[in-house]
Amino acid sequence: MKRNISLDCDPGHDDAVAILLAGKNPNINLLGISVVAGNQTIQKTARNALNVATYLGINVPICIGCEFPMVRERVICAAIHGESGLDGFDFPNYGDRFDKRHGVQLIIDTVMNNDKVTIVATGPLTNVAMAIKMEPKILDKLDEIIIMGGSVDNGNTSPAAEFNIMCDPEAAHVVFSSGVTVRMVGLNVTRKVIVTDEVVNRMEKINNKASDMFVKLMKVFNENQRKTFGVAAGPLHDPATIASIIDSDLIKWQKMNVVIDISHGPSYGRTNCDVFDYLRAPHNAYVAMDIDVNKYWDIIEQGIRSY
């Protein structure tokens, strides 16, 4: 059966691939895309989402969401995603075909007007948390929330925090303490799916419009990863959320207690994952513990081939 999906994202190179993967899969019914500030300002991430979806012929409502986090000051990530937020591929000018609703409203409408919607969030959790606060009825209506964010181990923005959670820890706190089933796909698994030259060459051979976008984006993404982290190639984080829906055996999950550090100290934004159940606290999240790397690239290849 097709899964109803409401995608919230901040494109972003890996978000662009998440859109690609969700747009044409027979198991996924993509109902709408809400955009949040994160990898770049909201004006840029919104434009990027519209460009990617239009280029790929994905015809769903795209709504501009929150410009700023709930409490902290805004953080962006130009070092990895560039000035545009999606450096590396030139899109035509697609005009202004945004759905005029606010991104938060789109999430609410999508969940309330459809059966069993899964919210997939690949950016900071501001829009999702605001939707929960604005219309708490969505909590009883929705299926689950799958996020790319956090980590069982080290962060990528501070020793403790992963970027998406770091951008809006208070929003993450709202989501993780909402009572809804949360699935957390964090750095401890996404760091295993590296877009090596071999992966880029493999996708280049597909030779269609989606592979052209993928390859050009990944070349710049990897170059920026090299400059920033000194690694040969970067992890393709965000599509792992969508891929986990496409193949339910892709990721190994462990249910546990996860608490977001909102203390504004050195671990601000950390996802404290109680892997060994020290606290005997309620298990509020399924945490991704492992991923089948070969399967992942097969899913990405199939996704690109479907265009």
Please enumerate in sequence order all residues whose Cβ is within 8 A of that of 237, keeping only pairs 6 or more positions apart, or say none: 14, 122, 148, 185, 187, 190, 193
Tell me, what DSSP letter sits at residue 288? E
Candidate list 4, 6, 12, 246; residue touching ligand BDR; CB under 6 A: 12
87 counts as binding ligand BDR under rule CB under 6 A = no
Helix (H) / strand (E) element for 291: namely strand 285-291
168 counts as binding ligand BDR under rule CB under 6 A = no
CB count within 10 Å of CB 196 equals 15
- Of all residues in the shown chain, the one whose CB is closest to ligand BDR is 163
**In 115-264, at which residue ranges do the beta strands (DSSP E only) sit?**
117-121, 145-148, 182-185, 251-256, 258-260
CB of 174 to Ca ion, least distance (A): 19
Query: Which residues of this chain interact with Ca ion, rule CB under 5 A?
Result: 10, 12, 15, 122-123, 238
From 10-18, 84-92, 139-147, 201-209, give the range in contact with ligand BDR by CB under 6 A.
10-18
- The span from the CA of 274 to the CA of 94, in Å, is 46
122 counts as binding ligand BDR under rule CB under 6 A = yes
CB of 49 to Ca ion, least distance (A): 11
Q: Return the residues of window 269-298 that contact ligand BDR according to CB under 6 A.
A: none
80 counts as binding ligand BDR under rule CB under 6 A = yes
- The span from the CA of 235 to the CA of 290, in Å, is 14
48 counts as binding ligand BDR under rule CB under 6 A = no
Candidate list 77, 193, 243, 256; residue touching ligand BDR; CB under 6 A: 77
Q: Please, are residues 15 and 238 in contact by the beta-carbon 8 Å criterion? A: yes
238 counts as binding ligand BDR under rule CB under 6 A = yes
148 counts as binding ligand BDR under rule CB under 6 A = yes
Q: Confirm whether 87 is a catalytic residue.
A: no
DSSP string computed for 154-166: --SSSSS--HHHH
- The span from the CA of 107 to the CA of 104, in Å, is 5
164 counts as binding ligand BDR under rule CB under 6 A = yes
Work out whether the CA dihedral 218, 164, 288, 156 comes out positive or negative.
positive
> What is the DSSP pairing of strand 251-256 with strand 285-291?
antiparallel
Nearer to ligand BDR, 23 or 149 (CB): 149
Nearer to ligand BDR, 109 or 168 (CB): 168
Per-residue binding string, ligand BDR, 193-232, x by CB under 6 A, is ----------------------------------------
15 counts as binding ligand BDR under rule CB under 6 A = yes
Give the SS3 label for residue 256.
Answer: strand
**Strand ranges across the sheet with 145-148:** 62-64, 28-35, 3-9, 117-121, 145-148, 182-185, 285-291, 251-256
Pick one of Ca ion, ligand BDR, none as the site partner of residue 224 (Cβ within 5 to 8 A by kind). Answer: none
From 8-16, 42-50, 82-90, 248-256, give the range in contact with ligand BDR by CB under 6 A.
8-16
- The span from the CA of 295 to the CA of 92, in Å, is 33
CB of 183 to ligand BDR, least distance (A): 15
Residues that bind ligand BDR (CB under 6 A): 12, 14-15, 39, 77, 80, 122-123, 148, 156, 162-164, 237-238
